[in-house]
Amino acid sequence: MKVLVTGFGPFDRFGTNPAEELVRSLAASRDDIHCLVLPVVYGKASEELLTALEHRKPDLTISFGLNPTIGHIALEELAVNLRASEVPDTSGRTVSEESIDPKGPLALRSLLPLRRMMTRLREEGIPCKLSYSAGVYLCNEVFYTLTRWCMENGKIGGFVHIPLSSELVAADRTLSGSSSLPAGTLAKAGSIILDEALRSIR
């Protein structure tokens, strides 16, 4: 079984990205997992993801991204064929209502067993919700690109948003009052999500 987990590097005002820390910890915990940290750059993130997917042909790919406005795990249901933002990517670029793939469908559904994941996470006391919008920033672009590749290649994949880590909030006074979860809880959530996804394809 080949497994790929992806996260993003730092962006905007966040010098550390909990999604990067999460995927690195998942890969370090198991020999059968490869992690990829994507740049927060329009186009380049998708290119690097597709290169890894074509090279490794993973059976399962789970992408994680940071949503600093939430305090729970958000299991993303829908990726839309649109990118737009007022916040620039790390190259300084902003986009306005561009199609990710001009020939692609308007929206794609996650291929992960989201409801089973939600049930298991809640049983473990980890706050979790289904989300029907991954936004239109880089997370959505990667989610759409990944889901389309998986559908075309008979593989499984999807996207999960995580909140800030409590440790990051505590260390940065500009984030004071932000919703968060402890890094240990985020790591446990990532492991549960991975286990439930693997169960669906074994």
The pLDDT of residue 147: 98
Is 34 marked active-site? no
Closest CA to 42 of 145, 130, 128: 145
The pLDDT of residue 155: 97
Q: Which residue out of 35, 128, 139, 150 is catalytically annotated?
A: 139
Between CA 134 and CA 70 the distance in angstroms is 12
The SS3 of residue 165 is: strand
Q: Tell me how many domains the chain contains.
A: 1
Is 72 marked active-site? no
CATH number at residue 42: 3.40.630.20
Is 128 marked active-site? no
* Residue 195 pLDDT level (bands cut at 50, 70, 90): very high
pLDDT in tens, 22-69: 999 999 988 889 999 999 999 999 999 999 999 999 999 999 999 999
Note the pTM of the prediction, 2 decimals: 0.96
CA atoms within 13 A on the CB side of 2: 9
Q: Which domain holds residue 166?
A: 3-199
Q: Which residue out of 20, 128, 161, 196 is catalytically annotated?
A: 161
Mean pLDDT throughout 126-145?
Answer: 96
| Cα distances (Å, whole numbers) of residue 37 to 5, 23, 65, 114, 126 | 9, 8, 10, 23, 25
Q: Which residue out of 20, 21, 35, 76 is catalytically annotated?
A: 76
* Residue 153 pLDDT level (bands cut at 50, 70, 90): very high
